[in-house]
């Protein structure tokens, strides 16, 4: 007899705090995010499910939607070419002797979870939702996750006894998986604050009074969304006491150490801003974003959920694109004005 889904978290409604420096003409960029209904989170049971090393779940050669970050992403995967689907079938289904796993195991990932932002804001909240029942059980992760320093290190506060990486396809007799705690880019506010508290408590001894409270996150080492005139930007942020950081150069522990101490954070849209998750409430973040972008509000909503004051600056781009990959050109006079407003607002 199959178990019915069990409730982990009730549904809720998030009412977002508007950007501190909101201009009335820009309200259209944020209005669809001001109020968001967050669905309940349940623990689901999937029986006799196959899992590939890439993290794709299937039953009877049918890929399950639970493999994906959203139903839309699942539909996109299903629309792949016949060649791509055949390649997947040959690699993961044909002539494979899958190792059976008979004990209960847990699953928290989807096709986007390996990315820094999605690991911390999509996967780990799911893990936190089952923290009370997963400690003495096995947590399964896709093969490539073992090679990400931030994934392995960020799991330490959860103190999970058995983490297993999937090197070959397996068959799970009883897989337990929590549903997403919120649509990606949104958050169960109680849970995301609990996640911050978990890391703040675990890494509190790392806080160094010598660390800077003002951080500018550079994307100079990234492949996209760079700052065209970053040298000018760096001169300005340094004038106001900001330390220039490329988070790629630091271990996860060093990143969290800096973020725990930070009261002010500036960056253009990108994974580095995920570290505002570790800032204390009452801090402030300034996001540099392209004109007309009403889709990428995940840091606006994250700041609101964590009681961090959100400032923004709209910027010109080097090209027109729909995927938010363009480099930005910053109006440095406006940047200086926004920094002053942010520092004054937070009483610096």
Residue 92 pLDDT: 64
CB 74 within 8 A of CB 67: yes
> Would you say residue 61 has pLDDT above 70?
yes
Structure-token pair, residue 247: 């988070």
Residue 179 pLDDT: 97
Arithmetic mean of pLDDT, 308-327: 84
Which residue(s) pair with 216 in the sheet?
244, 266
Arithmetic mean of pLDDT, 188-205: 94
d(CA 58, CA 74): 12
pLDDT above 70: percentage of residues in the chain: 93
d(CA 341, CA 348): 10
Provide the sign of the torsion angle of the four alpha carbons 13, 16, 17, 23, taken in this order: negative
Which residue(s) pair with 309 in the sheet?
284
- Binning pLDDT at 50, 70 and 90, where does residue 180 land? very high
Residue 31 pLDDT: 95
Structure-token pair, residue 217: 């996150």
Q: Could you report the per-residue pLDDT of 63-77, keeping only the tens digit for each?
A: 999 999 999 999 888
d(CA 297, CA 29): 8
Query: Which has the higher per-residue pLDDT, 44 or 347?
Result: 44
Detail the DSSP E strand segments found in the chain.
6-9, 12-15, 35-38, 41-51, 57-59, 62-63, 99-101, 105-107, 138-142, 162-166, 170-178, 214-217, 243-245, 264-268, 284-290, 309-317, 328-329
Q: Could you report the per-residue pLDDT of 216-268, keeping only the tens digit for each?
A: 999 988 788 889 999 999 999 999 999 999 998 999 998 998 999 899 999 99
Mean confidence (pLDDT) of the chain = 91
- Binning pLDDT at 50, 70 and 90, where does residue 94 land? low
Residue 32 pLDDT: 95
d(CA 61, CA 141): 20
| Residue 83 CB neighbours (<10 A) | 8
> Would you say residue 161 has pLDDT above 80?
yes
- For domain 202-345, the CATH architecture is 3-Layer(aba) Sandwich (3.40)
Residue 322 pLDDT: 63
Q: Could you report the per-residue pLDDT of 213-229, keeping only the tens digit for each?
A: 999 999 988 788 889 99
Q: Could you report the per-residue pLDDT of 95-139, keeping only the tens digit for each?
A: 467 888 988 899 999 999 999 999 999 999 999 999 989 877 899
CB 28 within 8 A of CB 22: no
Residue that is written with structure tokens 């969290």 in the block: 256
**Sequence ranges of the domains in the chain:** 42-180, 202-345
| Residue 100 CB neighbours (<10 A) | 10
Structure-token pair, residue 231: 């040298």
> Would you say residue 141 has pLDDT above 80?
yes
């Amino acid at each position: 007899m199959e178990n019915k889904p069990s409730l982990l978290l009730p549904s809720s409604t998030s009412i977002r705090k508007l950007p501190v420096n909101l201009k009335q003409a820009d309200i259209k960029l944020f209005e669809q995010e001001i109020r968001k209904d967050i669905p309940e989170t349940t623990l689901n049971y999937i029986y006799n499910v196959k899992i590939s090393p890439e993290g794709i779940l299937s039953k009877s050669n049918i890929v399950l939607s639970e493999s994906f970050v959203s139903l839309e992403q699942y539909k996109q995967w299903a629309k792949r070419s016949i060649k791509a689907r055949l390649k997947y079938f040959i690699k993961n289904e044909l002539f494979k002797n899958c190792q059976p796993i008979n004990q209960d195991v847990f699953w928290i990932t989807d096709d986007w979870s390996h990315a820094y932002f999605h690991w911390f804001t999509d996967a780990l909240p799911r893990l936190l939702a089952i923290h009370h029942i997963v400690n003495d059980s096995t947590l399964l992760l896709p093969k490539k996750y073992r090679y990400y320093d931030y994934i392995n290190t960020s799991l330490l506060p959860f103190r999970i006894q058995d983490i297993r990486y999937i090197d070959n396809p397996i068959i799970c007799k009883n897989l337990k998986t929590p549903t997403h705690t919120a649509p990606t880019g949104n958050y169960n506010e109680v849970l995301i604050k609990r996640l911050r508290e978990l890391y703040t408590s675990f890494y509190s001894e790392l806080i160094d009074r010598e660390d800077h409270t003002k951080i500018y996150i550079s994307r100079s080492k990234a492949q996209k969304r760079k700052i065209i005139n970053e040298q000018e930007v760096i001169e300005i942020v340094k004038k106001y006491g900001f330390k220039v950081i490329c988070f790629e150069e630091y271990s996860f522990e060093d990143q969290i150490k800096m973020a725990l101490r930070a009261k002010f954070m500036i960056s253009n849209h990108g994974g580095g801003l995920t570290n505002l998750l570790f800032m204390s409430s009452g801090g402030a973040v300034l996001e540099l974003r392209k004109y007309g972008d009403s889709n990428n509000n995940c840091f606006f909503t994250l700041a609101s959920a964590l009681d961090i004051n959100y400032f923004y600056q709209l910027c010109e781009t080097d090209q027109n694109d729909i995927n938010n990959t363009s480099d930005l050109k910053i109006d440095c006079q406006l940047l200086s004005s926004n920094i002053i407003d942010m520092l004054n607002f937070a009483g610096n």
